[in-house]
Structure 1
Amino acid sequence: MATTRIMPLHVGKGRTESRAISEIIDYVANPQKTDHGRLITGYECDSRVADAEFMLTKRQYIAATGRVRGADDVIAYHVRQSFCPGEIIPEEANRLGVEFAKRFTKGKHAFIVCTHIDKAHVHNHIIWSSVNLDCDRKFRNFWGSTRAVHRLSDTICIENGYSIVEAPKRRGQSYNKWLGDAAKLSHKEQLRQAIDRALAQKPGNLEELLRLLEQDGFTVHRRGKTISISAEGWGNNVRFDRLGDGYTLDDLLAFLSGQKEHTPRKKTAVQAATPRVNLLVDIQAKLQAGKGAGYARWAKVFNLKQMAQTLNYLSEHGLLDYADLEAKTAEATVRYNALSDQIKAAEKRMAEIAVLRTHIVNYAKTRETYVAYRKAGYSKKFRQEHEEEILLHQTAKEAFNELNVKKLPTVKELQAEYAQLLADKKTAYGEYRQARTAMRELLTVKNNVDRVLTMEQTEPQQKEKDHGQR
């Protein structure tokens, strides 16, 4: 087994905090890599909205401590954990990942463990929040953390009877720097750029194009009508039909024959998202809790900025009337809850289908044995000889009764229903994330407006009270 070093997750260039953390969690929680989410485990957080919960604890930490680091702040930490191919089942790998995360963070940080099965080797992606559960301290990446990660991971493997790397190569640099600057580009992107350079020389046909690629250091492989390209250091060949629009073999032949134009792929510039509105800080409550004058000065500036963003939001969305804001907030909340219920219902049915499909297969396989058992007068000897098959058959029948299945569907029908539910869930989940963002923004804006209105009502009463005391 092997593990990599701890990787701090920063905001990054052109990204907001929420986008930075949601992007990595969307990748590691990919349903296609985690058996439709079955191999995802969350600790002290809901894995479906872990990015939002991590951001919430970070805001609570800032509100409680007043410490803001800025663009170089760490939102979360990421560790990859790999296992020897064929040595461990995915469920066991996920359990070991959870054990590693709990022991390494001492159970004081929320985390998710996503086990990927899309490669030959089963591997975990472990992401934990930089802020602890009490929201008063942050995890600090310490000197020698790489060695500590390896030691703990190896210890857990040995305790559970799995192999470890006996003499791992310790490297303190990133994978990209280790391989060189060329590794920063994917193999496909390197090949696309080479094709662009070759086409700029205006080759007359496909053979000339391939010859130019060979002069550029690439190797051309032919297998029947399939053409693939490789280069030194590449593990696998890359076929033209996997390069995307504009670079497939048909696209290149059309360009070379003058039937269409070739447009080199350009990188799209990432624009920074509009700053989100944050909740106003209750300065008086914080002062009563022991905060000092420095914190009060920071909180006043922070509140002024948040009120400016609140007003901008109200103006941009045409919600200057409080009744409109209230109605819009209620509408967003209803939509969010409806999508959440829809996703939960789909997940529940998908789980039922998975169970039902397993029992239908077991029922079909063991039906003849059970019929023979019944014809034998439920003989004890026959049961002892075929106990496993009989138990599977009886368990399947009990499951059908629990699920209130009157007529058994075919496995093909269940697979079609499961595929449709999965597609609907993916569509709904995209809408769900948008609805959640919209609802949270509206709730924050409404909360800020309510706070200001409450303060305006309280100030005249306080002045009258002070005047009466004089």
Structure 2
Amino acid sequence: MATFKHISSKNADYGAAEQYLTFEHDEFTMKPTLDENGRLMLREDYRIATLNCGDEDFAVACMRSNLRYGKNQKREDVKSHHYIISFDPRDAVDNGLTVDRAQALGEEFCRKQFPGHQAIVCTHPDGHNHSGNIHVHIVINSLRIAEVPFLPYMDRPADTRAGCKHRCTDAAMEYFKAEVMELCHRENLYQIDLLHGSKSRITEREYWAQRKGQAKLDKEAAALPAEEQPAKPTKFETDKEKLRQAIRTALSSATSYGEFAAVLLQQGVTVKESRGRLSYLTPDRTKPITARKLGDDFDRAAVLALLEQNAHRAAEQTATVPEYPRNIRERLQGKKAVQTTPEKDGIQRMVDRAAKRAEGKGAGYDRWAAVHNLKQMAATVAAYGQYGYSPEELDAALVSANADLQDSTAKLKALDAAIREKKELQTQVLAYAKTKPARDGLKAQKTEKARSTYRERHESDFIIADAAARYFRAHGVSKLPSHKALQAEIEQLTAEKNAHYNEYREKKARVKELHTVKSNLSQILQGEKDREKKHEHER
């Protein structure tokens, strides 16, 4: 499958990019590989071409353009953007992908997506891990030297003008990934969905940590004497991978959320739930790792679904165990350890056994459902007494709980809206503050012609400043607040939201419990009616 990657660089030495593309480099340190005489070693095979550079070298052409427009002169400026398209290793064998064909596709992609930019396009026949994947490097000067048409990923007029800089926004990356997918589909190459990411969520940082750790283990194993060599290669695992393995082990045996948390806690991992999302805190960290960073298999929905499957499987296996005589059963239970697994909290819905039997559930599930219904029936009757002993009182309690939940939801939405508004104002204040040097420079100009020339030269800054000023006028902001004050307000609102969210969850749980009690009572009454009809029919 083709993948797409972006790297921004603040290195003012444009020649370093060309040197990396044409000379051998160490895959871990990224330093050039030298021969026995201390000289750089050319790569064995590659294709390279420059675009919009004329007859000049890429580095010379970029520096000349930067001086012409007065851009990329500061240390903090992004000087270049490096994009990499890596094709599937199978494409070379199955789909006839060659280095020359990949180079042509890379140049086509560069002309279409980065018009007006000086660029260097280079194709390598193999990846750094010797996987055989052909990949294309596209390095562009961040400065645009020609007027270009408005492309779908652009959102500002300055994105099309000469003398302005390329911006790799989230929208741009989404568009580029879609274009890479379209290119592969058109050329009949292997491709995956780049827009939704992988299920494993292995980042570039984790990938390299695993590679470096594995290389270190292999080096240590190779240095051992022949008689001390391990029977099989040792596999290095990152801290995240160890956490994934621990979670998978817990999920393989746990049948409830409480048991799942208890098993992980024995290994020093604490499970936390906040706003419907799970996170995992290991002993060596102070900040938990969210399930989203570990993979799709570790979020709340996937975990609860697997626990429910384990519970049903355990119930069916327990129901098929033969009954022992009473004296043997008492002796076995007398030696049984005290169960420490926490039970599920709250009242659960009763199971419609007839409907489940119609769906094809077995006898084991039916016996488990009978015991489950008896337990929930007792819990329902006990809870029913808390809310009253008439359907009207239960309905009134449900209406009151729903009203409280709606009020709590409205407060949460209001806090959300306030936080978004403050963050948007903070963004505009920061953007406006960054344009202060340009605005002060305009005031220093003495003539109208000088002001017009200066404004054209700093057009992108004035576009940002004008947009921010329009936002301030539209929202009635006469005096700009400081960044620290806005940050303090945002943190205070976030703390209020987090505190209120606990109250919201309690009210939501109360509404759910009332609905469950009402549903279970209806099922109990319906069962009583069915039994009465059966007795009348037997008479």
Same-fold status (TM-score > 0.5)? no
Q: TM-score range by the shorter chain?
A: 0.3 to 0.5
TM-score by length of 2: 0.39
Q: What TM-score, normalized to structure 1?
A: 0.44
Higher relative contact order (CA 8 A, sep 6+): 1
Higher CA-based Rg: 2
